[in-house]
Amino acid sequence: MMVSPNSSKWDLGRLFRTLAFFRTIPFLGSFDTISIPGPQKQPEKTAKRTKGTVLVVGATGGVGKRVVKLLQQRGYDVRSLVRDLDKTRPILGPDVQLIDGDITIPQTLTPPVTNDLKAVICCIGSRVQPQEGDTPQREKYYQGIKFYLPEVIDTPEMVEYIGVKNLVTAVTTAATEKTLCDFTQPTREMQANWGALDDVVMGGVSESNLRLVNGTAFFSGNVSTANSGGFASVRSRNFAPPFNLADYTGIDLRIKGDGNRYKFFIRTDPKWDGIGYSYSFDTAYNIPFTVRIPFSEFVPVFRAKTVPNAPPLDPSQIYSFQIMLSKFEYDGQLNPNFKPGIFQLQIESIKAYGGKKLPQFIQVSSAAVTRPGRPGNNPQDQIPIVKLNDQLGGILTWKLRGENAIRASGLPYTIIRPCALTEEPGGKALFFDQGDNITGKVSREDIAQLCIAALESPTAMNRTFEVKETEYFGPNNWENLFTQLKPDN
């Protein structure tokens, strides 16, 4: 028998192993296939519908614990970052999701803390206590009633500025980026979800695999053009449930290549061999870089043929990814960089980028943050907290820097600056002002109510204001109060 120089022995066993991996059976005489459902996770049937998840930071504090209670009463899921789980559970009860962490330690602000948030309500504060020492119940000294010389326990720069900035950065990153495959944190499940899909399915002999080693996924192998073949690829099994990336702009690949041109495919239906959406990208030898692919730039294809009439990629249902090195571009065109033989592409992560759903950030700051060192001889700049600012580690100065980080973040925000906080019952009519000139007091209960009102009113967005109570009892017309405020520039 004559053997053509570009033909090699085809391995039928590899074809069946490939199809078995993807749980697919070929119909005789055609390459149509059916998919057999695998042992994949099903979406929870009885998922409780809530108004969304709100992260409360400082939930063990005077304002924070009241905010938690009100959020629960109003049907939100509450998540809280706390420094001491054992101390917190009895304070907040069983229904709050508690995560151990500290805003001054960025490594603790992980995706379980920051993912899928409707809002953040930040009620943190550096601990200030009477110099004589706090009572066992950590009761507050009541400003204006009994005055002890205060001292600060934490470092205000770390808590009020660095900590708040860490939190803002973590929340913004989590909202704008969604990690889909993080190969720096490999798991067995991740390895098991990717399989080779080489030209053996068309009679070819190319061979590849994906190995998770040293915090990266190595897509490597040998691509051969024998038997009219010429592609090697790895594909994920179908995600269950599929990713909904409707709120994102595209895909972000962190890679290190070998100079070859590769293709990245997305499939938006669970079928084995339906339309895929493809994007070709070039790599440089051994240089790490990021490829950002807007969803709008993926080309609909059936195998290597473009399908001009196909609907545009629907990012709300993403079932699988595939990474390929192919001799072909599209519609018979050749990959201009293609060389048969050994290849290697390292993939660090696959993420969605450009998330458009940003959580609201509500900050409980303080009146008087702009007063230390303010020019002029205003009586409102002579109140005790302003005079004690240096002694208290510059607490007001650092709170203002924290506010600035929030205002610059691009997150929709509300910054509430209460006058002296009290443990008195709430229910007072509140007075709002801007310009940082008022003095007075306000109950922590009313500040907690105000946080919820800000969460639920778009009119409160991007505003910074001071608040104190009046001598009258409420109720407050929140919309009227927020409407009086000027938005920050």
Residues in touch with ligand NAP (CB under 6 A): 57-64, 81, 83-84, 102-104, 123-125, 127, 143, 154, 159, 163, 364, 366, 418, 420-421, 444
Name the helix (H) or strand (E) containing 416: strand 413-418
Cβ 400 to ligand NAP shortest distance, Å: 12
Which CB, 62 or 221, lies closer to ligand NAP?
62
Residues 6+ apart with CB under 8 A from 323: 219, 233, 234, 235, 262, 263, 264, 265, 345, 347
DSSP states along 216-231: EEEEEEEE--GGG--E
State the nearest-atom distance from the C-beta of 65 to ligand NAP, in Å: 8
Q: Which is nearer to ligand NAP, 77 or 102 (CB)?
A: 102
What residues have CB less than 8 Å from 376, skipping those under 6 apart? none
Taking the C-alpha atoms of residue 135 and residue 140, their distance in angstroms, rounded to an integer, is: 8
Do the Cβ atoms of 57 and 120 come closer than 8 Å?
yes
Cα–Cα nearest to 362, from 481, 441, 458: 458
Phi, psi of 414 (to 5 degrees): -135, 130
* Choice between 392 and 481, CB closer to ligand NAP: 392
Question: Least CB distance from residue 367 to ligand NAP, whole Å?
Answer: 6
Cβ proximity to ligand NAP: between 154 and 177 the closer is 154
Considering the complex, what minimum distance in angstroms separates the CB of residue 57 from ligand NAP?
Answer: 6
Strand spans (E) along 110-171: 119-122, 128-130, 150-152
Angle, to 10 degrees, between the axis of helix 62-73 and the axis of helix 444-456? 50
CB of 399 to ligand NAP, least distance (A): 7
Round to whole Å and give the CA distance between 252 and 160. 33
Write phi, then psi, for 235 (nearest 5 degrees). -135, 145
Which CB sits closer to ligand NAP, 134 or 177?
A: 134
Closest approach, Cβ 404 to ligand NAP, in A, equals 15
* Closer of 162 and 210 to ligand NAP (Cβ): 162
Give the nearest residue (CB) to ligand NAP: 61
Which one, 233 or 366, has the nearer CB to ligand NAP? Answer: 366
